[in-house]
Amino acid sequence: MKKSLKDFVLNLSNASLARANLQSADLSSALAKGVDFRLANFREAVMRLANLEGSDFSGADLSYADLTGANLSGAILRKVNMSHVELDEADLRGADLSGVINLDPRELADALGDDNTILPENVERPESWSSPIPAI
């Protein structure tokens, strides 16, 4: 049986991609735990269901990115541009979003979060985060 590229998972775990230009990249379902993505450009990137646990996105541009269902638990998202980002069912438990800019509170409400999620000073914790969230 012949395999296609869709049969493989992109593994970037522990890589250093600081300042990388990943604009419009498709990283759907990628395994990218603990990656250094500081100051990277993810504008219009698709990262649906990607495992980005513990990765550092400090200062990155995630504007117009699709993070539907992505695991961002424990990720560092300090001073990230999140304009028009898609966060449906994204796991932000334990993530640091301090200093995030252009974050729409409605998008945040569609994500999963907990008491360990650090939010920017001007953003209220969504009511949906008040009840315990089952482990995924």
> Where are the domains positioned within the chain?
15-117
Q: Cα separation of 6 and 12, whole Å?
A: 16
Tell me the pTM.
Answer: 0.88
If pLDDT is split at 50, 70 and 90, which confidence band does 129 have? confident
Count CA atoms within 13 Å of residue 65 on its CB side.
30
Which residues lie closer than 8 Å to 2 by C-beta, 6 or more apart? none
Q: What is the pLDDT of residue 7?
A: 63
Count Cβ atoms below 10 Å from residue 111 Cβ, excluding itself. 26
| 131 has pLDDT over 80 | no
Interval 29-86: pLDDT, tens: 999 999 999 999 999 999 999 999 999 999 999 999 999 999 999 999 999 999 999 9
**When comparing pLDDT for 122 and 41, which is higher?**
41
What would the two tokens of residue 86 be? Answer: 């898609």
Q: What is the pLDDT of residue 2?
A: 57
Beta bridge partners of 41: 21, 61
Q: Cα separation of 27 and 31, whole Å?
A: 9
Class of domain 15-117: mainly beta
| 4 has pLDDT over 50 | no
Q: Cα separation of 94 and 40, whole Å?
A: 21
Q: What is the pLDDT of residue 76?
A: 98
Q: What is the pLDDT of residue 36?
A: 98
Q: What is the largest CA-CA distance in the chain?
A: 54
Average pLDDT of span 13-32: 96
